[in-house]
Each structure stands twice: as structure tokens, then as C-alpha cells.
Amino acid sequence: MTQSALRHDWTQAEVLALFQQPFNDLLFQAQSVHRQHFDPNRVQVSTLLSIKTGACPEDCKYCPQSGHYNTGLDKEKLMEVQKVLDEAARAKAIGATRFCMGAAWKHPSDKDMPYVLQMVRGVRALGLETCMTLGKLTREQTAALAEAGLDYYNHNLDTSPEFYGNIITTRTYSDRLQTLAYVRDAGMKICSGGILGMGESLQDRAGLLIQLANLPEHPESVPINMLVKVKGTPLAEEQDVDPFDFIRTLAVARIMMPKSHVRLSAGREQMNDQTQALAFFAGANSIFYGDKLLTTANPQADRDMLLFQRLGIKPEEREEHDDEVHQAAIEQALVEQRDSALFVNAAV
Ligand code: SF4
């Protein structure tokens, strides 16, 4: 099925009908679609590193990194490039195929861009897929990231357009869609999804998936997050999502975007093994190890590998890049590593 053969005209009524099927019918349909496009026993593994933490000017009500809320989070300036590359090498050594770097910014500044571009080139030269999430981009910044070899840009829509204003007031839904359009125009892959458990309705969950599936091309990666309730954020007391409703959302995402990787994302650590197994059955085929992987002995990674083993799941191999592009990235990174002055002063 080519991108153009995929559907981009989903209606609210159709999507609600998918959600409202009996659970077993929905899962059977989702698993059937999944098997047409993916090996059902492979799950892609990404690693996430926060390259700049906290003090974000945006007011996303779910986020401990927002400067609007007092969550006791330790703030950190932009990491030095070499430290990021060291963390990427460690992630690769334990099996990650994609390295995602996130910065708590409204948008990257011109001063930060050279360091960010070096990170992309360096991580790519290690043979990892690269992903970044840096906030809103200009067309020029997007082109520079693409030129450096960035594979994916993460920019979540979070929820439906109708509910968005209840969660974030410092930017608009159309800002988000504009950045996604720049990313697509520059030839990069899109990672975009949302969060469940913020007080949204079923209509809002359907609305989010409709926005994603009705983009001119489906995002290659669709993270579906379960709200992690953090003390100090306005959503700290929200009601838990019924795990079956969460699984239903994964299944509907799988049916609507059959060729996308659907990622079981934040909130996974709070799920038991049975819920995670059901999520894989519903068509989720990507996980984050999370950034704890890089800072602790990481019992979570051990638990993940044990669960994979018990379920007969194997990590998905990395997509091969064009060799010439890969070699160019390696050479560029080697040149940059010799320019030590840039590394020393990477932190802003
Ligand atoms: S833009 Fe990102 S880092 Fe900033 S508050 Fe929102 S979710 Fe958090």
C-alpha cells in the first residue's frame, strides 16, 4: 500500500464507530491490519535523551518542564555536544536503533542551532537514526536540520483542536501544523502523536487521530502517551485512563495509519506486563526505553527485554540509510570533532 493509497479522509462518525466496536472485534481488526504491513513480533526501540531540561516558556499543563509550574525539576542548560554523542554511543551499545534528543524550548535560537546540527551529524555518524524535538521551527531551521541528516522531527499535536486550548495557551494548533508542514516539505520523517488522560472526551481522542491520519502523509511514527501525573502540574489530579480505553486508542491508530509505527510511549512504566502485551497485540510496535536508561543501571530496560523474551518479540533492525549519505555524515562529524572550541562552549 503506497502513501497515496492510504486513507486521509477519515470522518468523526467512522472513527467513533471504530472505537465503539466490541473490544475483541477491534483488536482482531487492528491485529489483522498490523500483520499486513509489519512483522507482528518486532518492536522498534528508541532512546530518549533530554539535551536541555526545564524552564520552558510554554505552559503545557501536563509537563514538568514548563517554567509556569513548580515541580522541583532540576533545570539543565543545553548539553555539550560530546556528552550527547557519548550517551548516543551507550544507547547504541545496548540495542537502541534510534536516538531522540529533546530540548525544552519554545523554539531553538540561532545561537543554539550550530550545536544542535553537530549533534545530528555526530549521532548519525554513529549509525543511529536521529530524531529531535526542539519546538516550533522556521522554514530555514527545518532545512538546516534536514541538510544535517536529521531523520525524524517529533512535534506532537497532543489532543484534538477543540480541546487544545484547555491544555496549552502559549501556542496554537495551527502553529503546530505549520511546523509539521515545514518538516514534511524538507523531506524529513514526522513523529507526532498525543496524550490520553488529560480530561479529554472520546470525541477528542478521535479528533486527534483524525488530525494525524488526515495529514497529506501519515506521520511515520505516532506516539500515544498515557499522562504521567506530576505533582505541581495542573493535571496532577486527573483521573486515570481505563487501560482498555488506552488499548482501544492504540488499535484505532493502527487501523487508521496502517504503515506508521505506533509507539507505546510515556506512561508505559506504570503499565503492567499484561497491558503492554495487549498494546503490542493492538498494533503498537515501537517503545521508548526512556532517558533513565542513560543515567541509571536501568532496571526498566531489563524488564523490557524480559517482557520481549516472554512474548517472543525481537527489537526491529534499523532502517538502512543510503551509504553515501551515511559516509558523508561520518566525515563531517570527524571534521567537527577536531574543532574542540565548539565542543567546550556548547552549553548556553
Ligand atoms: S513545549 Fe515541551 S518542554 Fe515545553 S512545556 Fe510543552 S511539553 Fe514541556
Task: Give this prediction's pTM.
Answer: 0.85
Query: 3-class SS at 186?
Result: coil
**Confidence at residue 322, expressed as pLDDT on a 0 to 100 scale:** 42
- Is any atom of ligand 1 closer than 6 Å to the C-beta of 158? no
Ligand 1 atom closest to the Cα of residue 65 is: 8
Best of 59, 66, 170, 198 to mutate for ligand 1, by most ligand atoms within 8 A of CB? 66
Cell, residue 60: 503545557
pLDDT at 93: 80
pLDDT grade, residue 65 (50/70/90)? Answer: confident
**Cell 532502517, located at residue:** 319
Minimum CA distance residue for ligand 1 atom 3: 104
Helix, strand and coil percent figures for the chain, each rounded to 5: 45, 15, 40
Q: Please report the pLDDT score of residue 45 as a whole number.
A: 82
Distances (CA, A) of 232 to 1, 40, 66, 194: 46, 39, 10, 21
Contact 261, 235 (CB under 8 A): no
Q: What is the mean pLDDT of residues 141-156?
A: 95
Annotated binding site: 56, 60, 63, 100, 131, 191, 263
Residue bearing cell 512483522 = 39
At residue 296, the pLDDT reads 40
Nearest-CA residue for atom 2 of ligand 1: 104
Please indicate whether residue 123, judged by its CB atom, sits closer than 6 Å to ligand 1: no
> Sign (positive/negative) of CA torsion 118, 123, 125, 131?
negative
Ligand 1 pocket, mutate which of 49, 56, 172 (most atoms under 8 A from CB)? 56
Distance CA 265, CA 327 (A): 32
243 Cα to the center of ligand 1, angstroms: 25
pLDDT of residue 321: 43
Domain boundaries, the chain: 12-312
Tell me what the mean pLDDT of segment 19-41 comes to.
Answer: 96
User: For the residues 54-81, what does the mean pLDDT come to?
Assistant: 87
> What amino acid positions are annotated as catalytic residues?
56, 60, 63, 100, 131, 191, 263
The response to whether residue 134 sits with its C-beta less than 6 Å from ligand 1 reads no
Asked whether 56 lines ligand 1 (CB < 6 A), one says: yes
Q: What is the mean pLDDT of residues 146-163?
A: 96
What's the pLDDT at 301?
65
Query: How many residues can be counted in the chain?
Result: 348
* C-alpha cell, 258: 496502517
User: Which of 104, 7, 19, 111 lies closest to 57, judged by CA?
Assistant: 104
Which of these, 279, 276, 259, lies nearest to 213 by C-alpha position? 259
With a 6 Å cutoff on the Cβ, whether 60 touches ligand 1 is yes
Asked if residue 63 has its Cβ within 6 Å of ligand 1, the reply is yes
The secondary structure of residue 104, as a DSSP letter, is -
What is the CB neighbour count within 10 angstroms for residue 279?
23
Is the Cβ–Cβ distance between 155 and 132 less than 8 Å? no
CA distance 179 to 137: 6
Q: In this structure, which residue's CA is closest to atom 5 in ligand 1?
A: 66
Quick one: which of 140, 134, 139, 141 has its CA closest to 156? 134
* 299 vs 205, more confident: 205
Give the pLDDT confidence of 189-246 residue by residue, as tens digits.
999 999 999 999 999 999 999 999 999 999 999 999 999 888 889 999 999 999 999 9
Dihedral of CA atoms 201, 245, 286, 191 in degrees, nearest 10, equals -10
Whether the CB of 58 sits within 6 Å of ligand 1:
yes
Encode 40-74 in three state secondary structure: CCEEEEEEEEEEEECCECCCCCCCCCECCCCCCCC
DSSP 211-251: HHHTSSS--SEEEEEEP---TTSTTTTPPPPPHHHHHHHHH
DSSP 3-state assignment of 99?
strand
Average pLDDT over residues 7-34: 96
Residue with cell 567537527: 336
What is the identity of the amino acid at 293?
Answer: L
Scan for cell 517482557, then name that residue.
307
CA-CA distance, 133 to 75, in Å (whole number)? 17
Higher pLDDT, 37 or 341: 37
CATH number at 12-312: 3.20.20.70
Give the ligand 1 atom nearest the CA of 63. 8
